[in-house]
Structure 1
Amino acid sequence: MARGKPIYEGKAKILYEGPEPGTLIQFFKDDATAFNNQKHAILEGKGVLNNRISEFVMSELERVGVPTHFIRRINMREQLIRHVEIIPLEVVVRNVAAGSLVKRLGLNEGDALPRSIVEFYYKDDKLGDPMVSEDHITAFNWANPQEIDDMMAYALRVNDFLSGLFSAVGIRLIDFKLEFGRQYEGDMVRIILADEVSPDSCRLWDARSNESMDKDRFRKDLGGVVEGYREVARRLGILRDESERSDATGPVLVASNDGANA
């Protein structure tokens, strides 16, 4: 599928004009970044794994009633997605104390929280993506009260589903970040899940060892970043076991049901 002109490049993805009105092509890069791009590296194969993991998760979420921008995977690094107006907020759901929550509240990393917590952050790298309240969101017209309710409801539904999905394959869902967008259909506007759901946007720990299987391996210089992502894909049934791999370098991915190129 021929790409149109690039319209946006982020830290880990590039968006191109899609083949039809209302569509985009989302390209997954191998770039890894942390601390608002102060730390950067190219990790061969990361984009391929994120593409397939996000495809799998988005497809499963659609089946449980969470609308997403995902249409289909095009190839190893590209997806066809719906064009949405991105809401400038990151919606973070936390189940276990980790990351900035530990620093802010003096908690012990790994402690289970009394209940799942939803937080909002304003998307602005120059400001360090500051945490904001619902009052900030409505006062500055980033989203209206109904949109806030929709995002929170979807975020908690995603949390319930992903917690069960990952638990079934021996992974703890510690926390994760979501982004949402507005899809315009005539006079109607609906909120749908956008961006990606992958080890780039989730904290995932092995249920037995508590070993990180996500981007914290890059943030904390633990090494084995792509290997951690590959293990997540393997457990989800996206990646074949090492014994079945036909090459020594790149990941071997199981074909998805949509018939897209593997």
Structure 2
Amino acid sequence: MARRKKIYEGKAKILYEGPEPGTLIQYFKDDATAFNAQKKATIEGKGVLNNRLSEFFMTGLTNIGIPNHFIRRINMREQLIRQCEIIPLEVIVRNFAAGSIAKRLGLDEGTPLPRPVVEYSYKNDALGDPMVSEEYILAFGWASQQDLDDIVSLALRVNDFLSGVFYAVGIKLVDFKIEIGRIWDGDFMRLIVADEISPDSCRLWDIRTGQKLDKDVFRNDLGNLTEAYTEVARRLGVLPTQATHVNKPTLIN
């Protein structure tokens, strides 16, 4: 079989040329990074879990009419996705104070915000993905005003969906980040949710105990990352209810 052409490799995923025009294969690695890749490790089973969890969330978005890049899962580590032009922004939605916003505003971690707050950071690893304002985005042409209005609408709809899904299994969605891509149908352009949705891109706390079930476990040396992600998957029904920590998760189709 011919070797697939690599299109892009990031910190957690690799994109390969897809089998048909306009498609890509997204491969989930076991690599974990934090603090702009200053801290690195290989966490066995992480890529398998994130592949399956992102499939779960993207399928849920499709079912409620939120467009996204997901087509289907291929195997334990790969999924077929629509090729799109990624807008060079991370779109962050915050429901509770944590991380940088808590530090910037002097808020206690876990403080509920008056309403969901949408922020943007410029996707540039060399610069540390700096936070940017709408004025910067418009001035540098990364997105138009109409794009920004549509991005906020998409982000808040995703927030409503994810918050409800997590709350139903006893998890608080503190914040999350998504990426947005452009696709074209002739001259018509539309925006879709891209990249991934997984515990890598969300802050997730157990509602009752406050236990962290996201990448902060790795970032702050709070325990075993795969155990935390396995617990999220188990609660959502992605793993059998009797499952405990496993290095190579057994997944439900």
Structure 2 residue aligned with 1:130: 130
Secondary structure of the equivalent of 2:189?
A: strand
Does structure 1 residue 227 correspond to structure 2 residue 227?
Answer: yes
Does structure 1 residue 253 correspond to structure 2 residue 251?
Answer: yes
8 Å CA contact retained: 2:95, 2:113 = yes
Structure 1 residue aligned with 2:53: 53
Shift of residue 188 of structure 1?
1.2
Shift of residue 186 of structure 1?
1.3
Post-superposition CA distance 1:72-131 (Å, at most 9, x none)? 000000000000000000000000000111111110001111111000110011111111
Does structure 1 residue 162 correspond to structure 2 residue 154?
Answer: no
Structure 2 residue aligned with 1:258: none
Structure 1 residue aligned with 2:77: 77
Structure 2 residue aligned with 1:105: 105
Secondary structure of the equivalent of 2:107?
A: coil
8 Å CA contact retained: 2:227, 2:246 = no
TM-aligned CA distance change 1:56 to 1:41, over 3 Å:
same
Post-superposition CA distance 1:123-161 (Å, at most 9, x none)? 011111111111110100000011111110000000011
- Gap regions ≥5 residues in structure 2: none
TM-aligned CA distance change 1:103 to 1:2, over 3 Å:
farther
TM-aligned CA distance change 1:2 to 1:226, over 3 Å:
farther
Shift of residue 248 of structure 1?
6.0
Aligned length: 253
8 Å CA contact retained: 2:180, 2:192 = yes
8 Å CA contact retained: 2:226, 2:247 = no
Secondary structure of the equivalent of 2:80?
A: strand
Give 1:127's aligned amino acid.
L
Give 2:236's aligned amino acid.
L
8 Å CA contact retained: 1:95, 1:173 = yes
8 Å CA contact retained: 1:12, 1:31 = yes
8 Å CA contact retained: 2:6, 2:16 = yes
8 Å CA contact retained: 2:44, 2:247 = no
Does structure 1 residue 18 correspond to structure 2 residue 18?
Answer: yes
Give the distance between the partners of 1:248 and 1:213, measured in 2 at CA.
15
Give the distance between the partners of 1:223 and 1:162, measured in 2 at CA.
25
8 Å CA contact retained: 2:121, 2:130 = yes
Give the distance between the partners of 1:128 and 1:113, measured in 2 at CA.
25
Secondary structure of the equivalent of 2:47?
A: helix
Secondary structure of the equivalent of 1:155?
A: helix
8 Å CA contact retained: 1:30, 1:47 = yes
Give 1:78's aligned amino acid.
E
* Superposed structure 1 runs of 4+ greater than 4 Å apart: none
Shift of residue 23 of structure 1?
0.1
- Gap regions ≥5 residues in structure 1: 256-262
8 Å CA contact retained: 1:73, 1:79 = yes
8 Å CA contact retained: 2:230, 2:246 = no
Post-superposition CA distance 1:26-77 (Å, at most 9, x none)? 0000000001100000000000000000000000011111100000000000
Give the distance between the partners of 1:248 and 1:59, measured in 2 at CA.
24
Shift of residue 2 of structure 1?
7.2
Give the distance between the partners of 1:133 and 1:6, measured in 2 at CA.
33
Give the distance between the partners of 2:9 and 2:227, measured in 1 at CA.
26
